[in-house]
Chains A and B, each alone.
Chain A
């Protein structure tokens, strides 16, 4: 969806971005139920916000809504903490007797997910927006409302932190 296009409908946003928003939420929370709730909340906010949206940087607008919903969720959870473990690919393991290679890959994904969850939020969201969602530095800057230089430094430090976190695991 190019920024110059007309304002999209809510249905278009859900069908074009629902899966990506869910994956963003899943990688940030490490938990399918939380990801589901969060993605639903984002789509509600998008539906409410579209009326006031004027064509501009749609990516920046959408991902700002998404990460703000995530931060609100984190704040809410800090008030009533729960200990939840990442549930990487439980459904895959349960439904498919996977070949050895797939199991190895699943274990690796779980390690990467656990390492990701150990990162402070500002680094976690930066690397997820960059490497999982595929946003440009400019789009991330608009979403997070920080200068591009800050985005660049968070992505770089986030990747180094991830490497350090994985060193003891993989």
Chain B
């Protein structure tokens, strides 16, 4: 047994409202630069739908992930080492920008510059690639909310795999959102495809990263990832991918997408797994067996033998503790409601999903029956093959049984909790029908419905505490990131050549301190420097505003008395200086 720790995520799809907040905040944090305009480390797809890039799930075309060769051994679907090197000068299955979309901006200037004319001037879309006028025909979420799906739905890869009848009916039947990030797989085919060895899996927390200094732009990783979550920066010529916000996670903060998720549906925690069994699990002969095989790779952190091995493997004690409290482990292995996305790609993905019960509930409610009654819901799960089959295509390589079981558990929880909420005697038969105890069911409800910030995100900080104190003093200028005021734009050898840019624009530790403290706080323990980038409106750091005059205790009233001067102070929440 070789114990390793993996930072993992679970998303509860029932709660996703498709608001794209996660995508936007992620973009602002990570891909708000030239060269990656089309890149969404986090994107939210409407299902049924084609996804981003279009039809990425069609591995017959894109050849991502692993397959079993004739001898039953794992092999990269796009071809092994030798084939990769032969094809290095032109990757035959690389998606082009057309498969993503051509990014654009608008020519806003004409709105203000246009001469007086009869018609209102319009801001034309301008391609960010060629700089020319363009016609917008696709984007990362063009088929959002099934928009235009009458024309494009037949191109959903999964719908093509389920029956004809479903394809005709799906629009009346169901719709849900699928937020996707990189899966930080246990058996990452992106890393295996990289000729330079620039993509690596961190041995401490399993986060898969691209070493920007070692990437040479061979583009094989883009093909290798079946989820198409490695993107090619067309300006810097380097691959980029979701980082699991490692600078945040290292200090115990959740990823940006999780932090900002409106539905609060994301869970982050550690999972301990047995690295020796990864390849064996990934090579499970039967695709439908992969879900169960992957679950078997995870180790029970409560097992003292596992803890002992983990300690031997150098996993710190607080990490083992955190693995025990991990919501991700609980959802995957204790309550068994989370399922992996496309296990048939054999990468052993580590972002799992609780499939949505809402298509079933909606269908039942549509018939006028009681959508909280477990009997009705169970019957509906059995009867409504359409969503179940579709979900099975997504999460269990087409095997409906695990999806059935999860949906039944969710349905049982729904009706069990209704009794409690209405003050009726809880019915122990309901949890029993899905193989759970009453207490366990209540705990699951707590985790899914009530869990607070620190229960949803159980993230032990990396062991480098003292070093973060140093970081501030050795980072020369926090504004030297690309596009930042300290950066001169293009280097002599193309876009952003020259020294690397620091990841942390602000000190994440300070951010965490501020976010977890209740008091509006300006840091009192160190010499403060005013940094508008990380001032979040809480408190009034000294030096930000001109000193208040004596006796001006209440800025607001003061402002009312003297409109001109108080205007600025009124916005300052009347804080005393």
- The answer to whether A and B interact is no
